[in-house]
């Protein structure tokens, strides 16, 4: 069996996303945090408990499982994070990786179908290596506190740029969403 690398998986996601019209417009790295309205959507994912160092394996499982079930992305790959390394030990981190799908999709295990139902999020674009998104996340939390918002759901990181041999880590873009509500 051919070994699947993280880069080959992400290239497949980009190709599929572009084919189905799911390529996302990125925003300027200078843009500040803002509250935006988002439309709820169905998604498939693989839930995981453990350190973030296992993300490549979980993404590989997501891609192989979705391909074998003829389920294709309707948008960008993302991660949803239910807790933080600041709160729990790495082996207790709860997160999932997934992508949007049409509501009619009926996945089988290990895939799960879920609904993103949060409509108001504090959002900012992170430009740079994915390993440094914590800086942007901290900026969003500071902005939320200063502007009277409280977190109302799990953090989502939408991967707008996928690693390829041609893309430098400092050019990578992701959009961070934190569901929020006025205090």
Which 3 state secondary structure label does DSSP give 96?
A: strand
Report pLDDT for 51: 96
The Cβ-side half-sphere exposure at 10, using a 13 Å CA radius, reads 17
Write out the two tokens for 33. 């945090």
The Cβ-side half-sphere exposure at 137, using a 13 Å CA radius, reads 19
Q: Which of 58, 45, 152 is nearest to 100 (CA)?
A: 45
Q: Is the pLDDT of residue 18 over 60?
A: no
Output phi, psi for 123, to 5 deg: -135, 150
Q: Which of 115, 113, 182 is nearest to 152 (CA)?
A: 182
pTM reported for the whole predicted model: 0.82
Spatial distance between the Cα atoms of 153 and 126, rounded to a whole number of angstroms: 20
Any idea which residue has 């080959």 for tokens?
Answer: 8
Residue 124: which residues within 8 A CB-CB, separation 6 or more?
31, 32, 33, 34, 136, 139, 140, 143, 175, 176
To the nearest 10 degrees (0 to 180), the angle between helices 6-19 and 55-68 is 50
Question: With 0-12 CB in 10 A as exposed, 13-18 as middle and 19+ as buried, what is 78?
Answer: buried
Q: Is the pLDDT of residue 4 over 80?
A: no
On whether the CB atoms of residues 103 and 118 are closer than 8 A, the answer is no
60 against 9, higher pLDDT:
60
Spatial distance between the Cα atoms of 134 and 145, rounded to a whole number of angstroms: 16
Q: Give the chain's domains with CATH numbers.
A: 6-182 (3.20.80.10)
Q: Average per-residue pLDDT in the chain?
A: 85
Q: Is the pLDDT of residue 17 over 60?
A: no
Per-residue pLDDT tens over the stretch 160-182: 987 788 888 889 999 999 999 99
Spatial distance between the Cα atoms of 29 and 84, rounded to a whole number of angstroms: 24
Q: Is the pLDDT of residue 3 over 60?
A: no
Per-residue pLDDT tens over the stretch 113-154: 999 999 999 999 999 988 899 999 999 999 999 999 999 999
């Amino acid at each position: 069996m051919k070994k699947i690398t993280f880069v080959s998986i992400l290239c497949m996601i980009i190709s599929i996303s572009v084919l189905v019209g799911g390529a996302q417009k990125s925003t300027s790295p200078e843009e500040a945090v803002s509250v935006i309205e988002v439309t709820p959507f169905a998604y498939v994912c693989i839930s995981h408990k453990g350190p973030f160092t296992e993300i490549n394996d979980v993404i590989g499982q997501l891609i192989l499982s979705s391909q074998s079930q003829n389920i294709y992305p309707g948008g960008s790959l993302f991660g949803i994070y239910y807790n933080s390394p600041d709160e729990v030990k790495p082996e207790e981190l709860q997160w999932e990786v997934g992508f949007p799908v049409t509501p009619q999709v009926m996945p089988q295990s290990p895939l799960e179908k879920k609904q993103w139902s949060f409509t108001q999020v504090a959002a900012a674009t992170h430009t740079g290596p994915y390993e440094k998104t914590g800086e942007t996340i901290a900026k969003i939390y500071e902005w939320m506190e200063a502007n009277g918002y409280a977190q109302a759901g799990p953090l989502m990181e939408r991967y707008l740029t996928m690693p390829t041999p041609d893309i430098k880590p400092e050019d990578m873009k992701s959009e961070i969403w934190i569901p929020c509500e006025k205090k």
